[in-house]
Amino acid sequence: MPRHAIETPERYNRMAQGGQMADIKRISVQQAHAKTKANQALLVCAYEDEAKYQRLNLEGSISFTSLQSRAAALPKTQEIIFY
């Protein structure tokens, strides 16, 4: 994946799929919790504002800013759950 700034979850989704918008699948809270607890997916707060992230932080989640800084190192197959 080329090193680009990720501006929105939608942009990240397009980049991860080779420039095409991927199908977005809704999952239950229980599924999201199980996947993140088992390290099968990253749980990302979709707000770019760090103050909002701090207020809405869920256990095991990372901020959107953190995702941006780690994006180049993530495998293309990395599952990401935005909330």
Q: What angle do CA 81, 40, 46 make, to 5 degrees?
A: 15
Per-residue pLDDT tens over the stretch 22-45 = 678 889 999 999 999 999 999 999
Q: Quick one: DSSP state of residue 17?
A: T
- Report the distance separating Cα 3 and Cα 15, nearest Å: 10
Closest CA to 62 of 4, 2, 9: 9
Per-residue pLDDT band for 20 (boundaries 50, 70, 90) equals low
Burial profile 3-21: b = 16 or more Cβ within 10 angstroms, e = fewer: eeebeebeebbebbeeeee
